[in-house]
Copies of this chain bind each other. A is one copy, B any other.
Amino acid sequence: MNESQAFPRVAVVGAGAVGGYFGGVMARAGASVVMIGRQAFVDAVTAKGLFLDTVQFQETVRVEASTELSAVRGAEIVLFCVKTTDTADTARELVPFLAPNAVVVSLQNGVDNAERIRAASGLDAVGAVVYVAAAVKAPGHIQHFGRGDLVIGPETERTEQLAAQFARCGVPCRVSNNIEGELWVKFIANCALNPVSAIGQAKYGRIADSPDAVKLLEMVGDEVLAVARAAGIVMPGVEDRAAALAISMKIATQMREQFSSTGQDLNRGKRTEIDSLNGHILRRGAELGVPTPANHALYTLVKLLEGQK
């Protein structure tokens, strides 16, 4: 049995909805999985296991759980799921515990996580486009609403092997030679829906129903498209502004009850990931000479709300 056929040792760093779902599915398939999370999560999982309440099955799976990052020791695949505000610090802290053959797969929002992980730690890092709708219903209880697949890339021996390992563990994973373009497709919707939902305190359905808000999504998408083009990034299936808007509208209409993670962060008084979303568009736009007024407005308003006293 070669490496891609064996069950890999998996560590989930940041066991929220995304990490809990993918790590849980891999544990169910037979992988040895350890999850790093908060005390309440560790207590729940230690006592009762991790409950996966998915659209295909309901099942409690056994995973190790720890609040200590050192518990990742020995992992071959690290599912890196921390907030993007913690990317660099967490990547650096991982270094002493990982073997040279370990690969860190970023399942985070944004388009520059793998690069930031590599820059901060020197670890081997792969960016993944994550397609899953899931939530933490209670500590140790993952609710899954749909999908659950990944895109990684570019095509290398390493990523092909990784995709095979994911597949063996029940996680459909496609390898793309245009992973940057694939990340940017999802990024359009994140840059549009996350801040508008957060600032407007609006679920996606209310955004989709407002012609003014749809126009705002379109303005944001136009700017993301212009920045991507100037950066030489080709987004598969997104040739024009109508296609860019369609990306956001599909998500908004399919997930009408969703309130963005940025909004959840703001309402909990937590720092948001806006620097990795619209903040990235502002930085790239400035470098490339592309105006980004709508993204600037949204970025600035989220920052003001973060600093609210």
Q: Which residues of A contact B (CB under 8 A)?
A: 196, 199-202, 206-207, 210, 212-213, 215-216, 219, 293-294, 296-301, 303-305, 307-308
Which residue of B has the minimal Cβ distance to A282?
B212
Do B210 and A304 touch (CB < 8 A)?
yes
CA distance A210 to B305 in the complex (A): 12
Residues of B within 8 A of A202 (CB): 304, 307-308
Q: Which residues of B contact A215 (CB under 8 A)?
A: 296, 300
Complex contact B199–A199 (CB within 8 A) = yes
Q: Which 4 A-B pairs have the closest CB atoms?
A: A200-B304, A297-B297, A212-B300, A202-B304
Are A216 and B300 interface neighbours, CB within 8 A?
A: yes
| CB <8 Å contact, A299 and B200 | no
A297 contacts which of B201, B210, B219, B303 (Cβ < 8 Å)?
B219
User: Does the CB pair A304–B219 fall under 8 Å?
Assistant: no
User: Shortest beta-carbon distance, A172 to chain B, in Å?
Assistant: 36
Residues of the B chain whose Cβ atoms lie less than 8 Å from the Cβ of A308? 200-202
A219 proximity list for chain B (CB < 8 A): 293, 296-297
* Contacting residues, chain B, for A200 (C-beta < 8 A): 300-301, 304-305, 308
Q: A201-B308, A206-B307, A307-B206 are in contact. Are A196 and B301 (CB under 8 A)?
A: yes
Task: Kindly list chain B residues whose C-beta atoms are within 8 Å of the C-beta of A301.
Answer: 196, 199-200, 216, 301
Report the minimal beta-carbon distance from A291 to chain B, rounded to whole angstroms: 9
